[in-house]
Amino acid sequence: MLLNKYGVAAALALASIARADVLYSDVTTFSGEGFPNGGATVVAGNNTTVMVADDITVAAGAAGATVTGFTFSVANFNAAAVSARPTLAFFDNDGSSGGPGTLLGSFTLSPQSFAAGAVAFFTDAGTFIVPASGTFWAGVFFDDNNGGTGATTAQLNSLGQGVFGPPTVGSSADEFFQSSGAGSASSNPAGGFFFFGGNPVADFGWSFTGDLATPEPGTGLLLLLAGVPLAWRLRAKRRS
């Protein structure tokens, strides 16, 4: 599927993360591109996109840790600011072919305003346990809060995530998961695996913090890219 193409100026900002041990971080190297979720469908009066999830492997020794906070990226491909409600869903990798399986936790946030033509980071608190394997899936989808945000189907379809990599803490494979239907925070979602042919690597902007026995330096940074023209275009390929 050939995605939307835009030449836009992007602002990239990450607020300081509260002191905690960094379990995984991929928020430093921005590829200059993003991937829109698409597939918005009205379900029970709520217009909802499909879910797009990245595989997350935490740092050595962090398996079994309790996540206490997370940061995620949102890319708005629209020419105007859009208000929508993001839902974050985290899954064990015990699903089909190592995909999203058992739901570890989900968090529906309040509606947020996403700036036009921009990639931004949002940080929130939430608790779930990293599986013993050290790997899980982190997904996001967007809805119009039962019509309350005023976002159109086309606007929702042009919300997604920024592509980042490589991770500076932990690791992530060159693939992502996209659900085949409207996003749902339930175990074993239906969908498939995709990538971008290796250029860029199919990793999205995520960071996770928690408490470990041996503290590591906290993360607090502010990144800003303004007035930089970007051509956000990616062709997603289904992995065989």
Does residue 96 register a pLDDT over 80? yes
Beta carbons of 187 and 39 less than 8 angstroms apart = no
Q: Is residue 74 part of a domain?
A: yes
Q: Is residue 232 part of a domain?
A: no
Q: Is residue 231 part of a domain?
A: no
Split at pLDDT 50, 70, 90, the class of 234 is low
**143 compared with 237, residue with greater pLDDT:** 143
- Alpha-helical (H) ranges within the chain are 153-157
CA 229 to CA 231: how far, in whole Å? Answer: 7
Q: Is residue 115 part of a domain?
A: yes
Give the pLDDT confidence score for residue 220 in this predicted structure.
36
Give the pLDDT confidence score for residue 109 in this predicted structure.
97
Q: Is residue 240 part of a domain?
A: no
- For residue 123, give its domain range: 7-226
CA 77 to CA 89: how far, in whole Å? Answer: 22
**Total count of domains within the chain:** 1
The answer to pTM > 0.95 is no
Q: Is residue 72 part of a domain?
A: yes
Does residue 12 register a pLDDT over 70? no
CA 35 to CA 142: how far, in whole Å? Answer: 13
> What residue type is assigned to position 215 of the chain?
P
Give the pLDDT confidence score for residue 231 in this predicted structure.
44
Split at pLDDT 50, 70, 90, the class of 4 is very low
Across the chain, mean pLDDT equals 86
Q: Which residues contact 74 (CB under 8 A, 6 or more apart)?
A: 86, 112, 114, 119, 120, 121, 122, 140, 159, 160, 161, 162
> What residue type is assigned to position 197 of the chain?
G
Q: Could you tell me what percent of the chain has a pLDDT over 90? A: 78
**What is the arithmetic mean of pLDDT over 203-221?**
70
Stretch among 18-22, 87-91, 96-100 having the lowest mean pLDDT: 18-22
CA 152 to CA 82: how far, in whole Å? Answer: 9
Q: Is residue 235 part of a domain?
A: no
Give the pLDDT confidence score for residue 236 in this predicted structure.
75
**What is the arithmetic mean of pLDDT over 83-111?**
98
Q: Could you tell me what percent of the chain has a pLDDT over 70? A: 81
Q: Which residues contact 111 (CB under 8 A, 6 or more apart)?
A: 83, 84, 85, 145, 148, 149
